[in-house]
Amino acid sequence: MKKRTILSIIITIVCIALTNKFWFCVNPLEISFNVKGAGDTKFEFFLNKEDNNDFKRVKYGVIEANLDEEDSVELFINRVHEAKRVKLTISGISTPPPQLKTIVLRDLQLRHGKYKLEDLKAFSAEGAKLKINGDKLVIFPEAEAVSLIYNKPVSIKPPVKFDIKVLIVIAVLSFLTALKLTSYLADFKTLNNASRMDIIFLTIFFILLFIPMSHIDTQTNYNKKENRSFAKYKPFINDKQINFEFGNNLDSWFNDRFTSRLCLIENYVNLKYRLALNYFEYKDYVINKKNNWVFFIKSFKTIDNKEFTENANTIIKSIIAINNYCKKHNIKLYIFISPTKEYIYKENNLYLHINAKNSVTQFKEYFEKELKKENIAFIFPVKEFRNQRNNDLLFYKTDNHWTEAGAFLGYQILMNRIKKDFKDINILDKNFFDYEYRKELKFAEHEYYYSSSGRSVELMFINDNNIADTKYKYFKIKNSNEVKVKEAPDGIYFKTIYNDPYIKIFNQTNTWLDSHNENGKHKAFILGNSFTAAITPYFIYTFNDMVQRRYNINAINELSIRLYKKDIEKLKPDILIICINFAHINDLKMLERGLD
């Protein structure tokens, strides 16, 4: 009996400690301020526990407001035990986020005026210029998101609430339950030969069965890691009709949202990764553990002749249709296909048999022959990339995109071909750039960020710092700056600012860009996937007017002319470049859609 009491007391103490949030808590921290601007705006507050500007251990609060009239805004952040630094991020709400207008902020205070951020000079900004006007802080945004940091420590200590009644209830209930449980377990020893080990085993088993259901994530609808939307819940009776797919729908819904899903997957995948000696394969990717090269498995497939010919002919038909459209509008069409890493660096992939053939060579020979008949410029620089592969790496080891060196090589090959038709075009050469070598991978959209490992590795859930073992060459255009735009959970976003007075960039979103260069020649419309982003900076300096559009982003999954006809006919370009990578060659099948 004594043992049971002691054990029960220990369990009670543990329960009290685990439930501290209920009886030992702080009042929510109130933050208020007056603000005027324009449009729907989001305000995100970060309260740092540490006295620095890293903002790693933070409490977070967010509020949205319409700023068309001066508004007094108030929000509450729960469980702020201590805060030493304050950061505020301001951004627009719609997608894509609009350019922010001037914002006027005043009376920013915390905890009902106990802490006032009065020293406006202590504010610093990223993505904006600041001006102090009496007691007002005027913010002139220069980016889609503005970050304000109050560089003075605030040392907020909200009052602690000690709820003795809740503590007593928890303590008593825990003790009584623990005492009953220990007595029950002790008595079971002699009851029906039921072993205590079996009781514990079954208890653990049934507890495990209920864990995934215990906290289903109903809030998340989009998962950045998987790049997809989660399945929505569809009821059994929907609009007075029976949903016969209810079972399958609920399966999908639950599969996306059960408790600790990503944690479980991550640990499992990491375990398998650690066990693998030479190769680790997951979700269509394989990593060669000896040299940290990651490849996309489906690229290795050799297509059989019948399937290949059917496929190829569909693509060629579509390209010819586009070419006819271009001829009608006096546009010269260039199809540029970036070779795949799997072929260019095939020696690094011991998955392949030493004599393995690859569909790349099949494709190149067939397409060049067929498109030459129609006089269509088709550039697929396999040999050139193979020859240059050992200079600077042309593709990232742990991502399928080309590096800036690869993009520049592609640019030069493409422009040399264009120059045959447009002799006055100037092609950038290496002297135009400064260079640096970095270990990180640059995700090549117009607001880019650097990642230590790469998207393929992230998708594979691999957490291995040794994977980032290579430096890549980065091209810095001599008259440009890299400016921080915002910080997000997946990294810090940057933008390139071109300081050349002859260059104007407009209509820029993360994935498309229009430019005007007084010193450039001819107008070009660039259409493609993510491979265009790395090559676009070179086009900015080459063409007089350039419009770049990207498909396979957000809701746009097809590469078809119907989505861009209007933009093309508005620009009236001399040149239309379609730039994709070989892995997406089948996307060209839809190209002619909209040409009725």
Going residue by residue from 330 to 359, which x/- string records binding to other proteins, judged by CB under 8 A? --------------------xxxxxxxx--
Among 209, 219, 430, 596, indicate the residue that binds other proteins (CB under 8 A): 209
Angle separating helix axes 404-421 and 531-540, nearest 10 degrees: 60
In angstroms, what CA-CA distances link 110 with 33, 57, 75, 117, 123? 9, 19, 10, 8, 16
Q: Tokens for 565, please give them.
A: 């006809």
Nearest distance from C-beta of residue 271 to other proteins, angstroms: 8
Nearest distance from C-beta of residue 410 to other proteins, angstroms: 16
- How many other C-beta atoms can be found within 10 angstroms of the C-beta atom of residue 207? 10
Taking the least distance from each CB to other proteins, the nearer of 151 and 255 is: 255
Residues between 179 and 198 that touch other proteins (CB under 8 A): 192-195, 197-198
Residues between 225 and 244 that touch other proteins (CB under 8 A): 225-228, 242, 244
- Note the residue count of the chain: 596
User: Residue 552, class by beta-carbon neighbours within 10 Å (0-12 exposed, 13-18 middle, 19+ buried)?
Assistant: middle
In the three-class reduction of DSSP (H, G, I as helix; E, B as strand; rest coil), residue 312 is classed as helix
In the three-class reduction of DSSP (H, G, I as helix; E, B as strand; rest coil), residue 336 is classed as strand
Residues between 254 and 273 that touch other proteins (CB under 8 A): 254-256, 258, 261, 264-265, 267-269, 271-272
Taking the least distance from each CB to other proteins, the nearer of 359 and 515 is: 359
Task: Choose the stretch contacting other proteins; rule: CB under 8 A; options: 22-30, 175-183, 247-255, 465-473.
Answer: 247-255
Residues between 538 and 567 that touch other proteins (CB under 8 A): 552-553
CA angle 584–341–343, rounded 5-degree value = 95
Task: Choose the stretch contacting other proteins; rule: CB under 8 A; options: 15-23, 62-70, 109-117, 251-259.
Answer: 251-259
Nearest distance from C-beta of residue 134 to other proteins, angstroms: 46
Note whether 331 and 574 are within 8 A (CB): yes
DSSP β-bridge partners for residue 549:
527
Please tell me the distance from the alpha carbon of residue 132 to that of residue 388, in angstroms, as a whole number. 55
Q: Tokens for 354, please give them.
A: 């030493």
Nearest distance from C-beta of residue 192 to other proteins, angstroms: 6
Residues between 34 and 73 that touch other proteins (CB under 8 A): none
Taking the least distance from each CB to other proteins, the nearer of 144 and 256 is: 256
Taking the least distance from each CB to other proteins, the nearer of 135 and 284 is: 284
- Tell me which DSSP letter residue 262 carries: H
Taking the least distance from each CB to other proteins, the nearer of 38 and 459 is: 459
Q: Which residue type sits at 516?
A: H
Using CB under 8 A as the binding rule, whether residue 210 contacts other proteins is answered as: yes
Listed in sequence order, the residues at least 6 apart from 13 whose beta carbon sits closer than 8 Å to its beta carbon are: none
Using CB under 8 A as the binding rule, whether residue 499 contacts other proteins is answered as: no
Note whether 62 and 44 are within 8 A (CB): yes
Using CB under 8 A as the binding rule, whether residue 204 contacts other proteins is answered as: yes
Please tell me the distance from the alpha carbon of residue 95 to that of residue 164, in angstroms, as a whole number. 48
Using CB under 8 A as the binding rule, whether residue 423 contacts other proteins is answered as: no
Nearest distance from C-beta of residue 247 to other proteins, angstroms: 3
Nearest distance from C-beta of residue 254 to other proteins, angstroms: 5
Q: Which residue type sits at 524?
A: A
Please tell me the distance from the alpha carbon of residue 473 to that of residue 459, in angstroms, as a whole number. 24
Nearest distance from C-beta of residue 294 to other proteins, angstroms: 12
DSSP β-bridge partners for residue 121:
none
Nearest distance from C-beta of residue 380 to other proteins, angstroms: 18
In the three-class reduction of DSSP (H, G, I as helix; E, B as strand; rest coil), residue 98 is classed as coil
Among 459, 483, 563, 595, indicate the residue that binds other proteins (CB under 8 A): 459
Count of residues near other proteins by CB under 8 A: 74
Nearest distance from C-beta of residue 186 to other proteins, angstroms: 16
Taking the least distance from each CB to other proteins, the nearer of 195 and 313 is: 195
Among 131, 283, 383, 478, indicate the residue that binds other proteins (CB under 8 A): 283
Phi/psi at 56 (5° precision): -95, -40
Give the pairing of strands 222-223 and 160-162: unpaired
Among 28, 98, 212, 594, indicate the residue that binds other proteins (CB under 8 A): 212
Using CB under 8 A as the binding rule, whether residue 302 contacts other proteins is answered as: yes
